Amino acid sequence: MGGSPCEKRWIIRDLARIRDSGMIMPASAISCPGHTGAMTIDTVPYPQDLTDGVVRLRAYRDDDAEALAEAIRESSTSAGRWIPWAHAGYDATTALDWIHQCKQDWLMGVGYEMVIVDASNDRILGGMGVNQRHREHGFANLGYWLRVSARGKGHVTRAGKLALTFAFGPAALSRIEIVAAHDNWPSRKAAKRIGGIFEGLLRNRLIINKTPVDAAMYSVVPGDLQIAAAHILSRSE
């Protein structure tokens, strides 16, 4: 990242502050006071009520570390095939490092990682991220995983639809991409249920376990949600 030493110093200060306090950043900007032409970073506030009554999406907290590590270890034998970081040795220290990275990425506008929790008791069910944001062209990736004991209940579909509401609302994106390994059928089916439109197979799009693999590309744009809502309305009439 470029910028003057003054810009970097103030940004690092604010990153440390959000890391240490777990604070919710306002919808404001970070800049270097008294510096002409300072880099400005728009921040998106953490979601406060992103729920459908069954699942909820919220920002990660430091006290999620142990429960998050447990959920990831539970899923290591299945999800680990597609996401190598989900392994049996994943511990709370690693989880806390990830949480701090999520806070920094959120502050910098790089991506918005959220945890999927049970709306009734805050139990961690998985993760949902609007990440790899492209500032110039207004699109981002949607990634997700779910713990084994929470599968088969529609939680990813529910959380994905909530994430789209966030992506096209507060995050002001114009396109969401979902990329899944060509033979990762659970993820591909989830992409379709969330509302993704299949755009094609991309050669060597992903690296999984150090091996290039072809991947399916799905996308969602705001108009897709409007079409889906109109379809539901017409069926109810």
Q: Could you give the number of structural domains in the chain?
A: 2
226 and 117: one domain? Answer: yes
21 and 129: one domain? Answer: no
98 and 120: one domain? Answer: yes
Half-sphere exposure (Cβ direction) of 207: Cα atoms closer than 13 Å: 2
DSSP state of 110: S
- If 0-12 CB within 10 Å is exposed, 13-18 middle and 19+ buried, where does residue 200 land? exposed
18 and 104: one domain? Answer: no
Rounded CA-CA distance 103/108 in Å is: 9
Q: What is the CATH number of the domain that holds 181?
A: 3.40.630.30
pLDDT digits (tens, 9 = 90+) for 82-129: 777 888 899 999 999 999 999 999 999 999 999 999 999 999 999 999
26 and 72: one domain? Answer: no
32 and 112: one domain? Answer: no
3 state SS of 169: coil
pLDDT digits (tens, 9 = 90+) for 176-227: 999 999 999 999 999 999 999 999 999 999 999 899 999 999 999 999 987 6
81 and 129: one domain? Answer: yes
Question: At residue 18, does pLDDT exceed 70?
Answer: no
The whole-model pTM stands at 0.79
203 and 130: one domain? Answer: yes
Print the domain residue range for 23.
Answer: 1-43
